[in-house]
């Protein structure tokens, strides 16, 4: 069977990393059956609309290397894919429900509804619900009100004393007492549908076979089941996915701990491939040791049966860092360099390469690649290759017994390095001669080399020192040592 999935983001904010995870699963499920993934923008909540959010949603999906088969930009048989452009469709279906007796007009004012809620709160009822006041209006009363232009909404007529069954492919059969369900507004007074009506109508018209979404939507599902029944439509399969939580917490992902929006992880310097690989495991597990998955492999291996049934999946930020570091290490240096440059162009400003060329940067990258976990770390890890570092002389005593001793070490090595002919300035030669000087002056390796490292790089942690000297060259090394004596 060809599977048709959909992602239906609302432009009320940015695409959350959990939404991107859902999209990844949607993608895998559709692709493994040569089916389709539909992207639909659910922009019916005008009050919470965030300017430009839909363009950013499309962009970030593309930036992650995912794509959709029908939807904005690419079109498709059920155009338009923006709900705000489909209002007539929802209106027609809302009226159909009223005519069939599954929905009704409600003319209650905001004040009345507010008072009702207030009273119910005082009574400490578990759920506040509409009291079905307008359900008892006669046909004539309704017509009169409509004719007079009294503002109205259309509500779902939820049956009393029923158990509503929801069949979820991951969670199994779930039942919801209908008495807990409000007579949901389907059509608002501004002519816009609510999410519940629009999502059901569109999922049906767009022939969606599987609805994947986060667990936060589970309480809405019985309402949708009622709507499918009322229309006489067969509901798609429901698949509710675990929500994401911080490690060692039962709460949802928090901005206080780090990024939560998909786009922000790219800004943090994560690679889309690593992010996708990490996300594959946010609620799914193949049950093997295999951890490194390309998108193609995931499309092949993904199955609904292996989605976890727990309510939340841990979002292990350390693990994400590990994945990213691994993708960085496994990438060719040239490819990594291109990504570093693109990242800088997009998130910082154009890179200032100083006097150095690309060949130099490739060598720098070769040296730091092992330790680099995000593209954003490049600057911090490498700035001393490109620019003379700031050297705080009072810090020498962290590496040497005294400031005088540090100066003496630097002077002696400066003599040594000045006398090495340029053509003999190689890593191995530097290594050999520098070690010989240790015995000549009876220096401890740690004291001497840490002092030289700090004097030339301004940091205490670098790739092997003679690799660094070899790369920045004789002139630069000796000039930095001279500067550190001033
Ligand atoms: N528009 C909803 C959202 O913002 C869609 C939920 C669903 O997948 O049904 O996520």
User: What is the widest separation between alpha-carbon atoms in the chain?
Assistant: 109
Cα–Cα distances in angstroms (integers) from residue 341 to residues 61, 320, 334, 450, in the given order: 21, 22, 11, 31
CATH numeric code, 388-485: 1.10.10.350
9 lines ligand 1 (CB under 6 A): yes
Q: Is the domain defined by 1-72+242-330 classed in CATH 3.40.50.620?
A: yes
pLDDT for the residue 124? 85
What is the domain partition of the chain in residue ranges?
Answer: 1-72+242-330, 86-241, 332-387, 388-485
CATH numeric code, 86-241: 3.40.50.620
Beta strand 4-7 pairing with 36-39? parallel
336 lines ligand 1 (CB under 6 A): no
Residue 294, Cβ neighbours under 10 Å: how many? 11
Same fold, 1-72+242-330 and 388-485: no
Q: Which atom of ligand 1 is nearest to the CA of 6?
A: 8
Taking the centre of ligand 1 as the mean of its atom positions, its distance from the CA of residue 222, in whole angstroms, is: 15
| Structure-token match 């493994």, residue found | 32
The encoded tokens of residue 316 equal 């292990």
Run of H or E residues at 7: strand 4-7
Q: Which atom of ligand 1 is nearest to the CA of 19?
A: 10
199 lines ligand 1 (CB under 6 A): yes
The encoded tokens of residue 406 equal 């540090």
17-31 and 272-280 helices cross at what angle (nearest 10)?
80
Cα–Cα distances in angstroms (integers) from residue 110 to residues 128, 151, 183, in the given order: 15, 11, 16
Cα–Cα distance for residue pair 220/202, rounded to 1 Å:
16
The encoded tokens of residue 39 equal 């992207």
pLDDT lower than 50: segments of the chain: none
Which residues, 6 or more positions from 198, have their beta carbon under 8 angstroms from its beta carbon?
Answer: 42, 44, 83, 86, 90
What per-residue string of b and e applies to 68-95 under the rule 16 or more CB within 10 Å gives b? bbbbbeeebebeebbbbebbebbbebbe
Report which protein residue has its CA nearest ligand 1's atom 8: 213
Q: Give pTM, 2 decimals.
A: 0.93
Q: Which atom of ligand 1 is nearest to the CA of 22?
A: 8
Instruction: Provide the Cα torsion 130, 136, 137, 139; round to 10°.
Output: 130
7 lines ligand 1 (CB under 6 A): no
CA atoms within 13 A on the CB side of 315: 25
8 lines ligand 1 (CB under 6 A): yes
Active site residue ranges: 255
Taking the centre of ligand 1 as the mean of its atom positions, its distance from the CA of residue 9, in whole angstroms, is: 5
pLDDT for the residue 348? 86
Q: Which residues are annotated as a binding site?
A: 255
């Amino acid at each position: 069977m060809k599977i048709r999935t959909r992602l239906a983001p609302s432009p009320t904010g940015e695409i959350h990393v959990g939404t991107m995870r859902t999209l990844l699963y949607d993608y895998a499920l559709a692709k493994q059956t040569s089916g389709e993934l539909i992207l639909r923008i659910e922009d019916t909540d005008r009050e919470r609309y965030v300017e430009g959010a839909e363009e950013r949603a499309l962009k970030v999906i593309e930036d992650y290397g995912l794509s959709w088969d029908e939807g904005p930009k690419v079109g498709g048989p059920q155009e338009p894919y923006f709900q705000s452009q489909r209002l007539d469709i929802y209106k027609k279906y809302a009226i159909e429900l009223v005519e069939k007796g599954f929905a009704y007009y409600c003319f209650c004012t905001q004040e009345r509804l507010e008072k009702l809620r207030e009273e119910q709160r005082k009574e400490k009822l578990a759920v506040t619900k509409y009291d079905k006041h307008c359900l008892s209006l006669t046909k004539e009363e309704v017509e009169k009100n409509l004719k007079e232009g009294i503002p109205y909404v259309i509500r779902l007529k939820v049956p009393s004393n029923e158990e509503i069954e929801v069949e979820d492919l991951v969670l199994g059969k779930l039942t919801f007492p209908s008495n807990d369900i409000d007579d949901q507004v389907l059509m608002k007074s501004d002519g816009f549908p609510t999410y519940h009506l629009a999502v059901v109508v569109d999922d049906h018209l767009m022939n969606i076979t599987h609805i994947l979404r986060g667990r936060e939507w589970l309480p809405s599902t019985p309402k949708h089941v009622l709507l499918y029944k009322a229309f006489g439509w067969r509901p798609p399969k429901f698949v509710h996915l675990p929500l994401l939580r911080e490690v060692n917490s039962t709460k949802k992902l928090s901005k206080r701990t780090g990024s939560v929006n998909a786009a922000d992880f790219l800004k943090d310097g994560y690679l889309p491939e690593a992010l996708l690989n990490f996300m594959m495991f946010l609620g799914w597990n193949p049950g093997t040791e295999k951890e490194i998955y390309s998108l193609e492999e995931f499309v092949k291996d993904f199955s609904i049966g292996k989605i976890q049934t727990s309510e939340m999946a841990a979002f292990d930020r350390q693990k994400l860092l590990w994945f990213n570091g691994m993708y960085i290490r496994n990438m060719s240096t040239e490819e990594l360099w291109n990504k570093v440059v693109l990242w800088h162009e997009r998130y910082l400003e154009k890179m200032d390469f100083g006097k150095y060329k690309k060949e130099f940067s490739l060598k720098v990258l070769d040296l730091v690649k092992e330790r680099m976990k995000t593209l954003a770390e490049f600057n911090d890890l490498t700035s001393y290759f490109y620019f003379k570092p700031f050297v705080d002389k009072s810090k020498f005593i962290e590496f040497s017994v005294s400031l005088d001793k540090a100066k003496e070490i630097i002077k002696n090595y400066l003599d040594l390095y000045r006398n090495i002919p340029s053509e003999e300035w190689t890593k191995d030669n530097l290594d050999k001669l520098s070690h010989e000087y240790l015995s000549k002056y009876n220096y401890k390796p740690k004291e001497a080399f840490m002092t030289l490292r700090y004097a030339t790089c301004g940091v205490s942690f670098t790739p092997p020192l003679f690799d660094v000297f070899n790369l920045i060259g004789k002139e630069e090394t000796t000039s930095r040592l001279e500067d550190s004596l001033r």
